[in-house]
Amino acid sequence: MRSHTSLALGNCQPKQSLPLVYRFHFMAFFSSFNRQTFNISREYEQLEPPNCRFIEGIETGAEDIDILPNGLAFMSSGLKYPGAPYFAPDEHGKMLLLDVNEEEPKPVVLGISSGFDIDSFNPHGISVYIDDKDDSVYVFVVNHPKVSTTVELFKFQEEEKSLLHLKTIEHELLQSVNDIAAVGPESFYATNDHYFLNSLGRVAELYLNLPLENVVYYSPTEVKEVATGFNFANGIIMSHDKKYVYVASLFDNSISVFEKHANWSLSQVKDLQIDKLVDNLCIDPTTGDVWMACHIDGWQLFNYNPKNPPGSEVLRLQNILSENPVLTQVYVNNGSKLQASSVACVHDGRLVVGSVFHKAIYCDLE
């Protein structure tokens, strides 16, 4: 069982908008009494940095984003996730490339080398790894052809704007992967968001808040569970100094900080109670700040109603390792513009926000 080391910082009320079942917290038995919490606004006031605009052409989500140091962003689009809506049931998923430096960035659909089964492509969490030896860019993509999980490894071919498929990774410990953090040309950490694969088990663990999900380390020579006890483990990312791993847990409403060891095992440093349904994480490469996109209401997300759609929220967490991390709301929308935000990344003063199944936006922060 994962332990909850913690600090105290004010108190937060339980999320008003969640249905009772989500508030039925078995986690209370396991958590310590003073996890670090943040006193941020419970108000549903909308908030938006200047100049937020839609990214043209994205209408079926950009569930995850990873940006290279040069400002080229990879995005996964078209996720079909059980329980969440999708607006293009007959289309397969796509990987998009976006140059965040452009005044009005427009996405390009990345070609994928022949031999890869594109028709069942259903991309979810992604992570990019740059090999120091030759500057090769490896793109890791969680894929759900049917209900299963695979991790697809591609090499980015910048001139051709395409992805060369290198291999498909499958493993019994990678049963329901949500996101990955690449740590080498063939190795990564992965979060599992479900323990059970059958629909009854999936519903049970979701509604009973069972903390059964874990983080797995994968390499061609070793695969092992490195952390457990999450209630829907979601985004995972390496700190910018590569010494720590941050894991978002959707129904724990938290981010956990782990120290990474030489043998790739993890030890928990602390749990930050964000009191939000945190999805994917990004790191600001210059400051090390953690950027996260959150779901405002889990019920609206999994019981979609176009008249009352799920909203979006983006938070920035500064000084995560210090005793006094600072959490700031940067974007809040009730779903009238952006529904179900799932990822927020920054590059050179620009914020890019993607969603599970809806649109994507970019904003200028300064």
User: Number of residues in contact with ligand NAG, rule: CB under 6 A?
Assistant: 5
In what order do the strands lie in the sheet containing 111-112? Answer: 111-112, 162-169, 150-157, 137-143, 123-130
Catalytically annotated residue among 4, 92, 124, 358: 124
Is residue 122 a contact residue for Ca ion (CB under 5 A)? no
- Please give the Cα distance from 4 to 289 (Å, whole number): 22
Is residue 70 a contact residue for ligand NAG (CB under 6 A)? no
The partner in contact with residue 252, picked from Ca ion, ligand NAG, none with C-beta cut-offs of 5 to 8 angstroms by kind, is none
Which is nearest to 347 in space by CA: 294, 283, 293?
283
- Please give the Cα distance from 184 to 122 (Å, whole number): 23
Binding residues among 291-330 for Ca ion as defined by CB under 5 A:
none
Q: What is the amino acid identity at position 94?
A: K
Binding residues among 51-110 for Ca ion as defined by CB under 5 A:
64
Cβ proximity to Ca ion: between 7 and 302 the closer is 302
Cβ proximity to Ca ion: between 6 and 187 the closer is 187
Which is nearest to 224 in space by CA: 172, 177, 259?
172
Return the bridge partners of 333, or none.
312
Q: Among the candidate windows 127-135, 158-166, 220-228, 239-247, which touches Ca ion by CB under 5 A?
A: 127-135
Is residue 308 a contact residue for ligand NAG (CB under 6 A)? yes
| Least separation in angstroms between CB 309 and ligand NAG | 7
Is residue 179 a contact residue for Ca ion (CB under 5 A)? yes
Return the bridge partners of 273, or none.
37, 254
Beta carbons of 260 and 244 less than 8 angstroms apart? yes
For residue 236 the two structure tokens come to 């995972």
Is residue 334 a contact residue for ligand NAG (CB under 6 A)? yes
Handedness of CA 340, 279, 51, 72 (dihedral sign): negative
Which is nearest to 13 in space by CA: 41, 33, 36?
41
For residue 110 the two structure tokens come to 């990345």
| Least separation in angstroms between CB 29 and ligand NAG | 36
User: Which of 162, 231, 234, 312 is the binder for Ca ion (CB under 5 A)?
Assistant: 234
| Least separation in angstroms between CB 311 and ligand NAG | 8
165 is catalytic: no
Give catalytic residue positions. Answer: 124
Which residues contribute to the site for Ca ion (CB under 5 A)?
Answer: 64, 125, 127, 178-179, 234, 279-280
Which residues contribute to the site for ligand NAG (CB under 6 A)?
Answer: 46, 308, 334-336
